[in-house]
Amino acid sequence: MIEVRFHGRGGQGVVIASEVLAKAAFKMGFEVSSFPFFGVERRGAPVTAYARIDKNPIRIKSSIYEPDYIVVLDSTLLKGVDLLEGLKPGGKVLINYPDDKTLPEISDRFQYYTLDATAIAATHGIGSKMTPIVNTAIMGGFAKMSDWVSIEAMLEIIREVAPVKKDENVEAAREAYERTREVAV
Amino acid sequence: MRQVMTGNYASAYGAKLSRAEVIAAYPITPQTSIVEKLAELVSTGELKAKFISVESEHSAMAACISASIVGARTYTATSSHGLTLMHEVLMWASGARLPIVITNVSRAMAPPWSVWADHMDSIAQRDTGWLQFFCSSNQEVLDTTIMAYKICESRNVMLPAMVIEDAFILSHTSEPVDMPEQEAVDSFLPSFSPELKVEIGKPMGFGSLVKPDQYMEFRYKAMLAMKAARERILRVEKEFKQVFGREYGGLLENYRCDDAEVVLVAAGSTAATAKDVVDSLREKGQKVGLARLRVFRPFPHEEFRALASKVAGIAVLDRSYTFGVSGAFFTEIKGSIYDCPKRPAMKNYIAGLGGRDITPKILEKIFDDIQLFVKRREETDVEWVDVAGLPRRWH
Amino acid sequence: MTKSYEEIPLTPISNTPSTMNMTGLWRAFRPIVDISKCKRCTICWKFCPDAAIKLVDFVPVIDLKYCKGCGICSAECPAKCIEMIKEGIE
């Protein structure tokens, strides 16, 4: 079973990102489950969501403590709580991070991927200029980082799920897929 | 067709596929997306129903009662404080013998304020005369909603039912759900036509005053109906399996219990996790099983008595607590098996209140503990699990 | 007489509307309206809990089939034009 944890802030589409991953994996024939840790948070507050992907039906309903992947939609969260807590050794981390900056000092036990999802979402006019909605771009990046979910499945689900600006969201995810790169730390 | 959806959407589609004709609801976390989805389905015309926005849950149930009295198939959904605000009218619905179906997204009662999973709200309604189904997956939520109408509307039952899904753990978790075809549901579930209903030109008062000389006879009839519901639940599930290919194990689903030495009794989402735990402990050679309490009303007395004769120990997990006694499942199971010739050791575990996560590790420890308890009974038979400050470590 | 549980419906049903219930028979006091003092404010009509007051030109006419004689109209009338008298005394 593959387990994924998402970190972001209310309004960025963290919960939808976890659903998009689940639906894309389901499209590829996997069994899936995705869920938010839903508090009573408002826009801007840290939000966590989770996804499980497996070949067999998923019965477990408890939370995820030792994920294989971590996705960070908002790099300002890197300064706060330990975002990498519980990540399995060799686990992969995808961070929405500006292209022109280098990652701060971070544990070398994991593999890191970055992409400037904020810039990509802004270019494609997704969300407002001040608060672009980065979830579709970041999921394009996820397809690049993982070797088991295809960009085609991801784009198909994004088109299905995006309530408005379907083409823009799909294009943002496609561009993000191209621009996601592994970074050495 | 299988598609990925939340427990709340599974509830909404369950009501839609059942062709609910009147929906009266008041939104509350974490039930809100059920009401939103149904409002959307009604506004787009996908569901032909009257949607009534009301000012409280008490009014929601009052509207459902009126709609049911005129012979409409009726649905609502609520949670925690919404359900307890309905308490008075829940009694009215069952007393007037109206087969209303509601989804309760089971959530803790405040204070302390909490929006997370806990069964206290549902358990507090156990005496209202409603059937109660605890679900363990989104698929079961959808299927049970459809089955509930067929069970409740049958002539010898005519009682309302509560379909219970755990707050967030089911309500907001997306997982694959096989959505039945409308035509298949239509042929499984005929339209609602009660023997007695208020019609234009035929005025009638439902549930009017009776004097002490006649009251007990009406309650006696309701008691018989709840008894009849037992057979009806089993029969409807059998029919459901023939049409849709899925089944849920009746009132008490026995999972790997046949040669089990100890079993865990759990309801709702915890029971799904517990199946994984049973499988992994079985691989290690432990003779353990799960008895999933699916129907709490009517209570599965016979099933528990059969189970008691086979096992040495029963661990009962309650996700609620009845102050001054113990967990409600625990006392009722004990009561059921009191006069069994062979009575297993029983211990109550209070866990997961207010959404505290019930992990596989905790369930493994409960299985360890009940196996020890069978050999060496302790003084206390009610243990609170994973409470900071208590000596036992659960992680 | 108590009927067997087998002979009764699922829930008690009344087949007659509540208007068949002649609540006027309960009355111990009867309201008498002094039309000459009435200001036509209709407060009595609004307050009557049994809707037993009809208005004719904004003046109350008591429907004695249903008036229980509760006296609320008399108590609320600002012009003090409704008097409650004991039933049976004309």
The DSSP output letter for C65 is: T
As a whole number of angstroms, the distance between CA A72 and CA A74 comes to 6
Q: Please check whether residue C22 lies inside any domain of the structure.
A: no
A160 to chain B, any CB pair closer than 8 A? The answer is no
Q: Do A61 and B273 touch (CB under 8 A)?
A: yes
As a whole number of angstroms, the distance between CA A84 and CA A94 comes to 11
* Mean pLDDT for all residues in chain B: 97
What pLDDT shows up at residue A129? Answer: 83
As a whole number of angstroms, the distance between CA B153 and CA B149 comes to 6
**Is there a contact between A23 and A54 (Cβ–Cβ < 8 Å)?**
no
CATH of the domain at C50: 3.30.70.20
Q: Which of B88, B42, B34 is nearest to B61 (CA)?
A: B88
Q: Please check whether residue C38 lies inside any domain of the structure.
A: yes
Per DSSP, the three-state class of B108 is coil
Residues 6 or more apart in contact with residue A37 via CB below 8 angstroms: A47, A48, A49, A50, A63
Residues 6 or more apart in contact with residue B249 via CB below 8 angstroms: B255, B292, B294
B259-293: pLDDT as tens digits: 999 999 999 999 999 999 999 999 999 999 999 99
B355-382: pLDDT as tens digits: 999 999 999 999 999 999 999 877 789 9
Average pLDDT over every residue of B170-189: 98
B36-56: pLDDT as tens digits: 999 999 999 999 999 999 999
* Mean pLDDT for all residues in chain A: 94
Q: Which of C5, C14, C15 sits opposite B221 (nearest CB)?
A: C5
Q: How far from B151 is each of B15, B156, B159, B240, CA to CA, in Å?
A: 14, 9, 9, 11
Average pLDDT over every residue of B27-34: 96
* Side chain identity, residue C5: Y
What pLDDT shows up at residue B313? Answer: 97
A33-90: pLDDT as tens digits: 999 987 766 677 889 999 999 999 999 999 999 999 999 999 999 887 789 999 999 9
Q: Which residues pair with B254 in a beta bridge?
A: B291
- Closest-CA distance, B154 to chain C, in angstroms, reads 13
| Neighboring chain B residues of C10 at a CB cutoff of 8 Å | 97, 158, 196, 218, 221
Q: How far from B378 is each of B94, B340, B368, B370, CA to CA, in Å?
A: 42, 22, 14, 11
Number of domains in chain C: 1
| Neighboring chain A residues of B170 at a CB cutoff of 8 Å | 61
**Is there a contact between B335 and B304 (Cβ–Cβ < 8 Å)?**
no
Q: Please check whether residue C7 lies inside any domain of the structure.
A: no
Structure tokens at B339: 């006069």
Segments making up each domain of chain A, as ranges: 2-183
Query: For residue B301, is pLDDT > 70?
Result: yes
As a whole number of angstroms, the distance between CA B314 and CA B63 comes to 42
**Is there a contact between B219 and B129 (Cβ–Cβ < 8 Å)?**
no
Q: How far from B53 is each of B26, B68, B86, B171, CA to CA, in Å?
A: 7, 17, 15, 21
As a whole number of angstroms, the distance between CA B13 and CA A182 comes to 43
Give the HSE-up count for residue C41: Cα atoms under 13 Å, Cβ half-sphere. Answer: 14
B27 to chain C, any CB pair closer than 8 A? The answer is no
B115 to chain A, any CB pair closer than 8 A? The answer is yes
Residue owning tokens 């009839």: B221
Domain holding C60, by residue range, is 31-86
| Neighboring chain B residues of A32 at a CB cutoff of 8 Å | 4, 174-176
Strand-strand pairing, B262-266 and C53-56:
unpaired
What pLDDT shows up at residue B180? Answer: 98
Chains near C (3 or more Cβ pairs under 8 Å):
B
**Is there a contact between B10 and B139 (Cβ–Cβ < 8 Å)?**
yes
Domains of chain B and CATH, by start:
2-244 (3.40.50.970), 252-384 (3.40.50.920)
**Is there a contact between B106 and B118 (Cβ–Cβ < 8 Å)?**
yes
Tally Cβ neighbours within 10 Å of residue A102: 11
- Closest-CA distance, A61 to chain B, in angstroms, reads 6
**Is there a contact between A147 and A113 (Cβ–Cβ < 8 Å)?**
no
| Neighboring chain C residues of B203 at a CB cutoff of 8 Å | 15, 17
Query: For residue B330, is pLDDT > 90?
Result: yes
- Closest-CA distance, B276 to chain A, in angstroms, reads 7
Q: Which of B104, B134, B136, B142 is nearest to B3 (CA)?
A: B142
Q: Please check whether residue C71 lies inside any domain of the structure.
A: yes
| Neighboring chain A residues of B273 at a CB cutoff of 8 Å | 59-62
Average pLDDT over every residue of C55-74: 96
Q: Please check whether residue C54 lies inside any domain of the structure.
A: yes
Question: For residue A67, is the peptide bond before it cis, meaning its omega torsion is within 30 degrees of 0?
Answer: no
With an 8 Å CB cutoff and a minimum of 3 pairs, decide whether chains C and B touch: yes
Does domain A2-183 fall into CATH 3.40.920.10?
Answer: yes
Query: For residue A131, is pLDDT > 90?
Result: no
Supply the angle between the helices B138-152 and B7-17 in degrees, to the nearest 10: 30
What pLDDT shows up at residue C90? Answer: 55
- Closest-CA distance, C18 to chain B, in angstroms, reads 9
Query: For residue C43, is pLDDT > 60?
Result: yes
Reported as type and span, the H/E element at residue B231 is: helix B212-244
What pLDDT shows up at residue A130? Answer: 83
As a whole number of angstroms, the distance between CA A71 and CA A64 comes to 14
What pLDDT shows up at residue A40? Answer: 66
As a whole number of angstroms, the distance between CA A161 and CA A20 comes to 8
Q: Do B218 and C8 touch (CB under 8 A)?
A: yes
User: For the sheet containing A2-9, what is the strand order?
Assistant: A181-183, A111-115, A92-96, A69-72, A2-9, A46-54, A31-37, B174-178, B2-6
Average pLDDT over every residue of B87-97: 98
B96 to chain C, any CB pair closer than 8 A? The answer is yes
Reported as type and span, the H/E element at residue B361 is: helix B360-375
As a whole number of angstroms, the distance between CA B374 and CA B381 comes to 11
As a whole number of angstroms, the distance between CA B106 and CA B171 comes to 9
What pLDDT shows up at residue C60? Answer: 97
What pLDDT shows up at residue B52? Answer: 98
pLDDT band at C18 (very low <50, low <70, confident <90, very high): confident
What pLDDT shows up at residue C89? Answer: 60
| Neighboring chain A residues of B166 at a CB cutoff of 8 Å | 61
B209 to chain C, any CB pair closer than 8 A? The answer is yes
User: CA geometry: angle at B55 spanning B51 and B59, to 5°?
Assistant: 75
* Side chain identity, residue B312: A
